[in-house]
Structure 1
């Protein structure tokens, strides 16, 4: 009996840890002093997102900054009143960020294992997923953010030249 060949997906590659903070500028200063690492200036990123509680695509603005050294990078994310960036559970590690070679296939596979969607960000003008946040309830309190590897060149160029601005992100597929 011959079994059908299965697609082999590489294991995700950890590349950042995201912290949810009440005041990004204060946190940036404190993290720089405590960890001895520098951070890029905070920036706002405009996205179209689909969330667990609001599944239709809608605009969302995220304020964030990354450490200047990595991987593994440290990301600081400004809390807000959205369901997935609320301070209802205090400041904390918010998520672990991974690169995966095909986030759509990875999501399909992990959904079969019981992981649920919390947030989906698609490439501009496409049905393909660029970023996928898992619902932390479905993974013992841990939220994972998976980035599509096809987006890596744009992201790495942004990290190398922060002055490019966040508006240049998400253009490639």
Structure 2
């Protein structure tokens, strides 16, 4: 599954999630980091080691990672050569964009896949060196999703 590199859970209590998932699955997490996108603060952590990674996000109220109904599986993350092209393709296939980080200077987008009750995140491959530097220094580069054919507009009258 080229391009796939992480699974994400949004959680209201980062420390509890790190403790419990570490105990249950035997994984170790990097220290959580504080970040902000737009007006939303959040904490983020990834498992240590090689992909696929487990990502945990502990958001403040509101924003793209609502946890008002409790913790949940949120998305599968994929590297892509073009967030714009990938988003166009997913939208044309009926997977609507729910949130884009692009207006905030972050080249990623979430698309809803109702049949799995979660989202697909497309992340621009240009962000990978910074990701590796932050979360897996010295880690090997990861491949992007294979190129997809351009989306053809529907013929008039259809």
Q: When the two structures are superposed, what TM-score results if normalisation uses the length of structure 1?
A: 0.70
Report if aligned partners of 1:98, 1:145 keep a CA contact under 8 Å in 2: yes
Task: Tell me how many residue pairs correspond in the alignment.
Answer: 137
Shift of 1:136: 4.5
Paired with 2:33 and 2:83, the residues of 1 have a C-alpha distance of: 25
> What is aligned with 1:119?
99
Structure 1: runs of 5 or more not aligned: 1-10, 49-58, 162-173
Considering only aligned residues, what root-mean-square deviation do their CA atoms show, in Å?
2.2
Which among 29, 46, 71 is matched to residue 66 of structure 1?
46
Name the structure 2 match of 1:32: 22
- Residues 146 and 15 of structure 1: is their aligned pair in 2 closer, same or farther, counting only changes over 3 Å? same
* CA drift at 1:154: 1.2
Q: Deviations over 1:142-163 (max 9, x none)?
A: 21111001111111111135xx
Equivalent of residue 16 in structure 1, options 6, 9, 21: 6
| Equivalent residues of 2:90, 2:111 under 8 A apart | no
Q: What is the Cα deviation at residue 87 of structure 1? A: 2.5
Q: Kindly report structure 1 stretches of 4+ aligned residues shifted beyond 3 Å.
A: none
**Does the Cα contact within 8 Å between 2:40 and 2:62 map onto a contact in 1?**
no
Q: Contact (CA 8 Å) 1:12, 1:100: kept in 2 or not?
A: no
TM-score (norm 2): 0.76
Q: Which residue of 1 aligns with 2:154?
A: none
1:80 positional shift: 3.5
User: Secondary structure in 2 aligned to 1:143?
Assistant: strand
What is the match of residue 74 of structure 2?
Answer: 94
Cα deviation code 1:55-96 (max 9, x no counterpart): xxxx32221100012310001111432154223443121111
Per-residue CA deviation, residues 15-64 of structure 1 (Å, 9 max, x unaligned), is: 0000111200111011111111110111111223xxxxxxxxxx322211
C-alpha distance in 2, partners of 1:40/1:123? Answer: 28
Structure 2 residues without counterparts, runs of 5 or longer: 138-158
Q: Give secondary structure in 1 for the equivalent of 2:118.
A: coil
